[in-house]
């Protein structure tokens, strides 16, 4: 095989893998929930168990309402929609969802 054929084959295999491992909507929502629950855990240590329970339940319902994903075949974007405005808060590729922006700032806040 020529070098160009091997390169084409490798790129094709990577793209095929990206298609079949593109995260679905529930994976996008779970990634955002995980980041927000990290934030809640840190705050709840100061506030108490009841606050943790209430906040966790609220996050579950809210995330299911405001988080959506746009599938672009090889990757997908996590979008949060609030008051009619959508903002990209993550990207999904190869079975993983990576969040960024305000969501990560909250999760790493001390």
pLDDT single digits (tens) 87-100: 999 999 999 999 98
Rounded to the nearest integer, the mean pLDDT of the chain is 86
pLDDT of residue 47: 65
Which structural domain, as residue segments, surrounds residue 53? Answer: 3-108
Which pTM was predicted? 0.81
Give strand ranges (E) for the chain.
67-71, 76-82, 85-93, 96-99
Across-strand partners of 14? none
Whole-angstrom distance, CA of residue 61 vs CA of residue 25? 15
More confident position, 37 or 13: 13
Whole-angstrom distance, CA of residue 79 vs CA of residue 77? 6
- Bridging pattern class, strands 76-82 and 85-93: antiparallel
- Of 86, 100, 108, 109, the C-alpha closest to 32 is 100
pLDDT of residue 49: 67
Domain count, the chain: 1
């Amino acid at each position: 095989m020529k070098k160009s054929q091997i390169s084409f084959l490798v790129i094709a295999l990577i793209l095929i893998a990206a298609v079949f491992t593109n995260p679905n909507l529930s994976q996008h929502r779970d990634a955002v929930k995980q980041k927000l629950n990290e934030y809640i855990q840190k705050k709840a240590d100061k506030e108490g168990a009841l606050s943790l329970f209430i906040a966790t339940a609220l996050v579950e319902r809210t995330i299911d309402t405001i988080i959506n994903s746009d599938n672009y075949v090889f990757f997908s974007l996590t979008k949060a929609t609030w008051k009619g405005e959508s903002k990209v808060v993550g990207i999904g590729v190869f079975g993983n969802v990576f969040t960024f922006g305000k969501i990560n700032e909250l999760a790493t806040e001390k």
